Chains A and B, each alone.
Chain A
């Protein structure tokens, strides 16, 4: 029933895509299932696992917390036989649900390490439903950046949040909105969460919308 595991010509494909507002409240596990079904709908010669319940082999760079949107997400999958990149892109775009936009598709050396291992950092912007004054934001950032240790507890584990923040600034968008920009460490065992930082700055998760703007690989 499963495809021949001995197939030699394995192609590794990397997709850059955006996760828009329609998928804002879709979590990481649901996103994985969404991708599996998207790939099935695309009818590309996707490589599946063996066994009674074959599943597409997928590799997402970095989990995006529930409630966030993103301009740039990365995902690798594998094909059992080669296919022109333009066709791959077209078929993925055709099969994509509302809110998921395929930016680019490229072929990757199959020997490259897993995407999660390559992850170094992520950049985010935060827009506030009721934007605070610029000075207030500046002061909060300045305070945070001068700390050495900010202990935070998530799922009963305490960690130091401060070294995960690489940079933070107040920015003004083209539309004239005041937003917060941050670059956070995103290494396998040290990934900064914007919501934890915002909570530390006094903003509950009902006060803002976080957008990942960039993922940085090592």
Chain B
């Protein structure tokens, strides 16, 4: 098939699908390089629809950085929505890139972003739509190299069979080393095995084909061993000593996407040590960007996009040490351009009156979000997000006094050591907050409770804990719904079955590959979408593969057990996590490590980088 005819065939099916603008590219600041003008073609794939993927900052950063290189072209591809998938399969149109409309199989490297586990079936669907064999071992030198990265791959094992190499940790430097290894391998006309061993030599790259896993008879992992000298275990994640320059070219989608705003990362990592928080553990150390750099990036972003909103991204914005100077510095620009600001992830205890004053003056309309995560002081200590009820109510009062009318409170249920009285306390807290709001803001005060289910994630102190029982979760949700009945408090919650799937996939080992494949063959895709997700194909797939899903989700792991992800080093030592887990069992907290180092392992692993880059903005003491 010629390139021209593929493009024409795509154009012909587009009038039959919803929101066809997702599939055409052509946006302002897109980078299209003539196909034959570069040596290496990289397809950056986000395995969900354009509307979500195009808002992903990680994708945008890699796209920008790769395309700055003269001999590399990065193009984008996303999952087609179900109607487009049907149309493509009917017309035998392979998955194509948005820039040059090239089939994915023509690319040298497919870089897949896996920020969460419920994308795994979409990932397989993408390989299938592209005509690339699902299993790494079935690919040869003619196939693209399939690389995966993102937060989910800190436990790469469930998708290990489908991926040629994983990029563990921060990818901004690693991608160029991967491309360079690919280029020299092409020049050497080597075998596929030679490509894999070259990649294994790159720090942070994990090649699962060069690693063997042995199991006990009961299914627990017995040992994980390298089978090739090039593949050293454990694989240490990569980090950047200093945050790279922010996005310098902002692509502006023509069709509506989830986040239409200039997003600038102000800080990476978090020192709070909430025990449930995967991001807080795997993204250490904490590094801040300078105020000047953030301001320059925002100005450039607004100039390039014409967006009406600015968002400052980090895991805990109010912990950014220069937050007040930053917002003050932004004020004039925001007012002049009539632009809104959003500041997600505010910590209740680090949230000052000053910050509320300036935020309220800039964005008087919107709502306010706080995340106590648990209903009682006791349980908040267990999860290491300590906060007294008095402190919470003081902040709430201040929020309403500053003029906000609508407050959203995030909670999780299913925490370790949780009892029904902790659940009742969630309802009581929300009611007390609403009452407080009414006293200050009158009848316009609104409280919204967002309830999600705790998932014990790898590389966190709770990695040994079990996922709560599904019936227990349903009971707790019912209790909350009942408690809110007749009140004006609105409650939304996640589908517990979807959380259960996430627990299976995030805590799994290599034996899950055929399960994922089977669930996908039975029609599972868009598992993160409430209207598409079904648990049945997954249950059937586990049964078909002779595996018990409870083994992955509901079992407390032994403290001496080899965990399926132990050979991936996220920088925080297992001994530290274990110590922290035991503190939680004793109901004890571990304070913010900005003040004092608790030797989590980051400095032991990465202090040489810090010393080499003294201006890196590290906040380790």
Indicate which residue in B20, B252, B337 contacts A66 across the interface (CB closer than 8 Å).
B20
A119 to B306 alpha-carbon distance, docked (Å): 29
Contact, CB under 8 Å: A37 / B307 = yes
Task: Please give, as numbers and ranges, the residues of chain A lying within 8 Å of B340 by CB-CB distance.
Answer: 53
- B 7-24 contacts with A by CB, 8 A: 8, 12-16, 20-21, 23-24
A34 to B534 alpha-carbon distance, docked (Å): 37
Indicate which residue in B15, B26, B303 contacts A22 across the interface (CB closer than 8 Å).
B26
Contact, CB under 8 Å: A98 / B365 = no
Mask of B281-323 contacts with A, CB within 8 angstroms, 1/0: 0000000000000000000001111111000000000000000
A217 to B252 alpha-carbon distance, docked (Å): 32
Contact, CB under 8 Å: B26 / A23 = yes
Mask of A22-44 contacts with B, CB within 8 angstroms, 1/0: 11111101100110111111000
A8 to B21 alpha-carbon distance, docked (Å): 40
Task: Please give, as numbers and ranges, the residues of chain B lying within 8 Å of A52 by CB-CB distance.
Answer: 363-365
Contact, CB under 8 Å: B338 / A22 = no
Contact, CB under 8 Å: B364 / A37 = no
* Cβ-based interface call for B27 (8 A): yes
* Cβ-based interface call for B545 (8 A): no
* Cβ-based interface call for A95 (8 A): yes
* Cβ-based interface call for A99 (8 A): yes
* Cβ-based interface call for B335 (8 A): yes
Indicate which residue in A26, A30, A41 contacts B304 across the interface (CB closer than 8 Å).
A41
Contact, CB under 8 Å: B256 / A30 = yes
* Cβ-based interface call for B254 (8 A): yes
**Cross-chain pairs A/B with CB under 8 angstroms, 8 sampled:** A23-B254, A24-B24, A27-B255, A53-B365, A54-B338, A95-B306, A97-B28, A99-B26
- B 447-481 contacts with A by CB, 8 A: none
Contact, CB under 8 Å: A129 / B255 = no
Contact, CB under 8 Å: B308 / A53 = yes
Task: Please give, as numbers and ranges, the residues of chain B lying within 8 Å of A34 by CB-CB distance.
Answer: 254
* Cβ-based interface call for A133 (8 A): no
* Cβ-based interface call for A67 (8 A): yes
Mask of A57-89 contacts with B, CB within 8 angstroms, 1/0: 000000000110000000000000000000000
Task: Please give, as numbers and ranges, the residues of chain B lying within 8 Å of A37 by CB-CB distance.
Answer: 252, 305-307
Residues of B within 8 A of A (CB): 8, 12-16, 20-21, 23-24, 26-28, 30, 252, 254-256, 302-308, 335, 337-338, 340, 363-365
Contact, CB under 8 Å: B252 / A22 = no
Contact, CB under 8 Å: A67 / B27 = no
Task: Please give, as numbers and ranges, the residues of chain B lying within 8 Å of A38 by CB-CB distance.
Answer: 306
Contact, CB under 8 Å: B308 / A40 = yes
Task: Please give, as numbers and ranges, the residues of chain B lying within 8 Å of A22 by CB-CB distance.
Answer: 24, 26
Instruction: Report the minimal beta-carbon distance from A197 to chain B, rounded to whole angstroms.
Output: 15
Contact, CB under 8 Å: B20 / A67 = yes
Task: Please give, as numbers and ranges, the residues of chain B lying within 8 Å of A48 by CB-CB distance.
Answer: 338
A40-B12 CB under 8 A given contacts A22-B24, A25-B20: no
Inter-chain residue pair count (beta carbon < 8 A): 73
Instruction: Report the minimal beta-carbon distance from B565 to chain A, rounded to whole angstroms.
Output: 42
Task: Please give, as numbers and ranges, the residues of chain A lying within 8 Å of B307 by CB-CB distance.
Answer: 37, 40
Contact, CB under 8 Å: A1 / B308 = no
A60 to B549 alpha-carbon distance, docked (Å): 56
Closest 10 A/B residue pairs (Cβ): A37-B306, A40-B306, A52-B365, A22-B26, A97-B28, A41-B306, A25-B20, A205-B15, A25-B21, A26-B254
Instruction: Report the minimal beta-carbon distance from B50 to chain A, rounded to whole angstroms.
Output: 12
Task: Please give, as numbers and ranges, the residues of chain A lying within 8 Å of B306 by CB-CB distance.
Answer: 36-41, 95
* Cβ-based interface call for A113 (8 A): no
Contact, CB under 8 Å: A41 / B254 = no
Contact, CB under 8 Å: A206 / B337 = no
* Cβ-based interface call for A2 (8 A): yes
Contact, CB under 8 Å: B28 / A98 = yes
Task: Please give, as numbers and ranges, the residues of chain A lying within 8 Å of B24 by CB-CB distance.
Answer: 22, 24-25
Q: Which residue of B lies closest to A22 (CB)?
A: B26
Task: Please give, as numbers and ranges, the residues of chain A lying within 8 Å of B27 by CB-CB distance.
Answer: 97-98
Q: Which residue of B lies closest to A20 (CB)?
A: B26
Instruction: Report the minimal beta-carbon distance from A124 to chain B, rounded to whole angstroms.
Output: 15
Task: Please give, as numbers and ranges, the residues of chain B lying within 8 Å of A27 by CB-CB distance.
Answer: 21, 255
A101 to B621 alpha-carbon distance, docked (Å): 55
Mask of A91-105 contacts with B, CB within 8 angstroms, 1/0: 000010111000000
Instruction: Report the minimal beta-carbon distance from B18 to chain A, rounded to whole angstroms.
Output: 10
A24 to B20 alpha-carbon distance, docked (Å): 9
A213 to B214 alpha-carbon distance, docked (Å): 69
Q: A34-B254, A53-B365, A66-B15 are in contact. List 15 more A-B contacts (CB 8 A).
A: A22-B24, A25-B23, A26-B255, A27-B21, A37-B252, A37-B306, A40-B308, A41-B304, A52-B363, A53-B340, A66-B20, A67-B15, A205-B16, A206-B12, A206-B15
Task: Please give, as numbers and ranges, the residues of chain B lying within 8 Å of A99 by CB-CB distance.
Answer: 26
Instruction: Report the minimal beta-carbon distance from B332 to chain A, rounded to whole angstroms.
Output: 12
A23 to B252 alpha-carbon distance, docked (Å): 13
A41 to B252 alpha-carbon distance, docked (Å): 11
Task: Please give, as numbers and ranges, the residues of chain A lying within 8 Å of B23 by CB-CB distance.
Answer: 25
Instruction: Report the minimal beta-carbon distance from A48 to chain B, rounded to whole angstroms.
Output: 6
Q: Which residue of A lies closest to B12 (CB)?
A: A206
Contact, CB under 8 Å: A1 / B338 = yes
Which residue, of A22, A25, A48, A67, has the highest number of chain B Cβ atoms within 10 A? A25
Contact, CB under 8 Å: B15 / A30 = no
Task: Please give, as numbers and ranges, the residues of chain A lying within 8 Å of B335 by CB-CB distance.
Answer: 1
Q: Which residue of A lies closest to B24 (CB)?
A: A25
Instruction: Report the minimal beta-carbon distance from B128 to chain A, rounded to whole angstroms.
Output: 24
Task: Please give, as numbers and ranges, the residues of chain B lying within 8 Å of A53 by CB-CB distance.
Answer: 308, 340, 365
Which residue, of B13, B15, B21, B364, has the highest number of chain A Cβ atoms within 10 A? B15
Q: Which residue of A lies closest to B362 (CB)?
A: A1
A67 to B28 alpha-carbon distance, docked (Å): 19
A30 to B254 alpha-carbon distance, docked (Å): 6
Contact, CB under 8 Å: A30 / B12 = no
A27 to B23 alpha-carbon distance, docked (Å): 14
Task: Please give, as numbers and ranges, the residues of chain A lying within 8 Å of B20 by CB-CB distance.
Answer: 25, 66-67
A4 to B305 alpha-carbon distance, docked (Å): 25
A53 to B337 alpha-carbon distance, docked (Å): 12
Indicate which residue in A1, A2, A97, A205 contacts B254 across the interface (CB closer than 8 Å).
A97
Contact, CB under 8 Å: A98 / B21 = no
A26-B21 CB under 8 A given contacts A37-B306, A41-B303: yes
A10 to B20 alpha-carbon distance, docked (Å): 38
Instruction: Report the minimal beta-carbon distance from A87 to chain B, rounded to whole angstroms.
Output: 17
A53 to B340 alpha-carbon distance, docked (Å): 8
Q: Which residue of A lies closest to B363 (CB)?
A: A52
A26 to B14 alpha-carbon distance, docked (Å): 11
A26 to B8 alpha-carbon distance, docked (Å): 18
